[in-house]
Chain A
Amino acid sequence: MRYVLRRLGFFVLTLWAALTLNFFIPRFMPGSPLQALQIRTKNRLSPVALEQMLTSFGFKPNESVGVQYLDYLGHMFSGNWGVSIGATLGEPITKIVAQALPWTLGLVGTATVLSFLLGSMVGVVAGWRRGGALDSILPSVFVVTSALPYFWVGLLLILVFSVWTGGLLPSNFNYDSSLQPEFTAEFIGNVLQHAILPGLTIVITAVGGWVLTMRNNMITTLAEDYIRMGRAKGLSNRKIMYQYAARNAFLPNLSGFAMSLGFVISGAILVEYVFNYPGLGYLLYNAVQNTDYPLMQVLFMLFTVAVLVSVLLCDFATAWLDPRARAKG
């Protein structure tokens, strides 16, 4: 119980620190929402009118920072997130986020789960047949792919599968702009088609890490006494591989996976940017570009909370699975 309470306390403290940083760091950035708006409106409109317009939408640059900060903390918890003062001036933040969130969860979430499963499976096999053909080729390949930058892989895929094939696979957006969102085979097919290249980009760059850790865990586990014991008992290789070795080797990877799920929500900003995928990452890029404080605050808050919550859940899961963690705590 003490362990759980300590974890919870730590969670609250980290959350507060992160929220505070989220409030102040954007305000230290150069530029202001007013300047960004002036540039976007081609300097054609009166700066006084624009400032008043921003004030009407809730931008109060002249209020003391302390008051603004307290308001901000209150609003983050009450869900009263206000309206955008950037490129989507006047649109409620809740609506903007609700529009983008499903796309990020769908694309990045699925790609993360896929690359985790795929990577772990390959890792198990490679670790089991240590020194075999698979083991001598794949890990070195994956060392390379996991070091490749997201956007570079994305650009390469666009070039090969979209440009060279004359647009076989769509290279941008989440679905054709001629379609309206509805539950038809055509629309869903279109969405999946648009997800192939960005999804593939994430899988290619993320799978390597899982393969390598899984393989190494597997090799360590295979050296354990109980494996030898299993062999001595004459168990089938299949049973030893999956139920004795892989199952135990999987545990450290699983906690890593819980963490990476927390990062799903922040999206792969560069992937969404390269593919014009209208998810949260793309939204964050636009918000920063236009000094859209309310939108930035909410996005940072969501990213922070997602990571912290998954870390917390991971801590609880560890405590539940591993008595040693409880005892030490």
Chain B
Amino acid sequence: MRRSRSLVALVALSAVLAACSAKSTTGTTTDKDASGTDGPHKQGGTVTIANTAGQTWPCQFNPFNPAVNGQAIGFIYETLVHVSVVGNSKETPMLATGYKWSADGKTIVFTIRDGVKWSDGQAFSADDVVFTFNMMKAHPATDLYALWTGAGLQSVTAAGSEVTMTFNQTAKTYFYNLAGLVPIVPKHIFSTGEAAANPETWANTKPIGTGPYTMGTCGPNNIEYLANPTFWQPGKPYIQKVEYPAYLDNAPANNDLASGKAQWGGQFIPNIKAFYLAKSADNHTWSPPVLNVGLFPNLDPSHPITSKLEVRQAIAAALDRTQIALIGEGGQQPAANQTGVVVPTFDKYFDQAALTASGYDKPDVEKAKTLLASAGYSPAKPLKLTVITITGYTDWDASLAVIKQQLQPIGIDLTVDDLAQQTFVGKLFTGNFDLAYYAEPNSGPSPYYELRQLLHSKLTAPIGKNAISNYERYNNPEADKLLDDYATADEAGQVEIVKKLSAIMLRDVPVIPTTESVDWFQYNTSDILGWPTPENPYAEPSPYKVPDNEQVLLHLYSKAAQK
């Protein structure tokens, strides 16, 4: 998915305006039957994916190259376990049939699945798993989740069909990364020739994997995946062909979705009701929220205004988030809340009582005025603030226009500074801003993953140095301790910790969430069924979410092929 960019700004903006005049309150329409019936189903049918790549396909399938692994993982390469971000972090055993943590959380033993074959006919075994992880140690560039350096992985060994991994610390929170995201590669391919010498740069033009699909043909404009006849789940995948055209921009991808030429979309479609949903009764969308978008105030003392609590509290109190979501995002993203917990995706962790008690559950202009007055500002003596954002993110521009309007009456004069992405990122990383409009890009199966990125002091840096994800420079030992304790807590304890972190979000207002960013997902049910829906959220639904795409592909089937 790519956002609409500057040149289509006019089109997008007019669409946003049209959407808000249409008073669309939700972008979600789902077909109750879209999930279809449980299998087994007959094989057949083709699915076409519409997801803007912004480039032609290089036809490389190295699962460790971050530029191309979106076309390799899930289709061709698989992980040990699938962990879903949506649907209460449901786990599906993939290449591992099971796993067991030691009591101290420092050792995990995976049981590796029997009877799996690589697509070239060779048998898959625990050796391949051990090889993959040890290769990541030998070639740190392939250790994309910093398992050996950050998570404290010490050794990976195999005994029979069991793989044991030991850590020098409690590593339970890294489970999502090590079991759910690391693609397992064949030892017999990656231990010879160029692949062994430079596994991080190897082109891998003829990928061999265990996944449900193999690469059929690949050209700059399209990749055609074919069902893997030796896939380990008997009778699957049902869909025999997957077409993945390389869309350079959103417009053609959106057009193909609207016409039904593509059935699986991961697109931002401005004015989706008129442009997509109204075109056919078979067109549906369900875009589950997974992260917060919001204002990042600079908390470093060198920024005296935004590091003042009253100012942040005033902004948080003044914002009418429902309006921002409705007008700025055209109702396609839900409103966020100050606890930092994304709802309804993570309802289990959400503390409604605390939010109501804090008063941030609804806009309170009088309270905001009082708070701002105590900081020395008023509508007569307005506070001038500048917020930086990325040029071309037209929905964010629209949201900021609404925010500016809402802050005016309490005495804040907001200037929106649209920057080129590189400039924006430079300023954000080094802390050279007062307010930044941004979203942490990396979601996880519970609010912990986002809150850790936002709040942990380990992930920040002094002004002038690149921060990893704590861009607002929040530093609180209490929050650090809660985040560190999360790893060893049981499920109830983890919910408790997230609620305590929410209390910190309400008390210190380190970040001011405005809307919730979603996984864009559109689907067409004229022939294909088995889609993830709010009733059956078995995986993150966007085609650009790997390895969740494999779960979706394994559920899909063609109605025409059933006759």
Q: Show the binding face of A for B, using Cβ within 8 Å.
A: 29-31, 35-50, 52-53, 55-57, 83, 87-91, 99, 151, 167, 171-173, 175, 177-178, 180-181, 270, 273-274, 276, 278, 282, 286, 289, 291
Contacts and interface: CB of A to CB of B under 8 A. Distances in A.
Contact of A48 (B66, B149, B220): B149
A291 B422 contact: yes
Contact of B425 (A31, A53, A181, A273): A31
Nearest to A159: B11
Contact of A56 (B141, B181, B249, B469): B141
Given A46-B146, A91-B58, A180-B219, A173 B441 contact: no
A83 B62 CA distance: 15
Interface of B: 7, 54-56, 58, 60, 62, 64-68, 140-146, 149-150, 181, 198, 200-201, 203, 217, 219-222, 243, 245-249, 251-252, 255, 420-423, 425-426, 429, 440-442, 453, 466, 468-469
Contacts of B55: 87-88, 286
Given A46-B150, A53-B64, A56-B141, 5 more contacts: A36-B425, A45-B144, A46-B149, A49-B140, A173-B252
Contact of B248 (A39, A40, A167, A278): A278
A50 B58 CA distance: 19
Contact of A90 (B60, B423, B426, B442): B60
Contacts of A42: 441-442
Nearest to B425: A35
A170 to B, nearest CB: 9
A192 B468 CA distance: 48
27 contacts: A31-B421, A35-B429, A39-B421, A39-B425, A43-B442, A45-B145, A46-B145, A46-B146, A47-B468, A49-B142, A50-B141, A88-B58, A89-B65, A90-B58, A90-B65, A90-B67, A90-B201, A91-B60, A167-B255, A172-B249, A177-B245, A177-B246, A178-B245, A276-B249, A276-B252, A282-B248, A286-B55
A21 to B, nearest CB: 19
Nearest to A91: B58
Given A35-B429, A49-B141, A90-B67, A276 B422 contact: no
Contact of B54 (A44, A46, A47, A286): A286
A89 B68 contact: yes
A88 to B, nearest CB: 5
B442 A53 contact: no
Contacts of A180: 217, 219, 222
Given A56-B198, A90-B65, A276 B425 contact: no
B141 A30 contact: no
B248 A50 contact: no
Q: Say what secondary structure dominates the interface of chain A.
A: loop
Residue with the greatest number of chain A CB neighbours at <10 A, chosen from B68, B141, B243, B251 = B141
Contact of B200 (A46, A53, A274, A282): A53
Given A31-B422, A56-B201, A177-B222, A43 B440 contact: yes
Contacts of A291: 422
A40 B251 contact: no
Given A39-B441, A172-B248, A175-B221, A52 B200 contact: yes
Contact of B66 (A29, A89, A171): A89
A156 B525 CA distance: 34
A38 B7 CA distance: 24
A45 B67 contact: no
A181 B219 contact: yes
B141 A55 contact: yes
A31 B116 CA distance: 45
A38 B442 CA distance: 11
A88 B149 contact: no
A81 to B, nearest CB: 15
A151 B11 CA distance: 14
B221 A49 contact: no
Contacts of B145: 44-46, 49
Nearest to A45: B144
Contacts of B442: 42-44
Residue with the greatest number of chain A CB neighbours at <10 A, chosen from B67, B200, B421 = B67
Nearest to A179: B221
A57 B201 contact: yes
A212 to B, nearest CB: 29
A37 B421 contact: no
B143 A49 contact: yes
Nearest to B250: A276
A37 B65 CA distance: 11
Contact of B220 (A35, A83, A99, A289): A99
Given A43-B440, A89-B67, A90-B58, A273 B200 contact: no
A53 B141 contact: yes
A124 to B, nearest CB: 37
Contacts of A48: 140, 146, 149
B422 A90 contact: no
Contacts of A274: 7
B67 A30 contact: no
Contacts of B440: 43
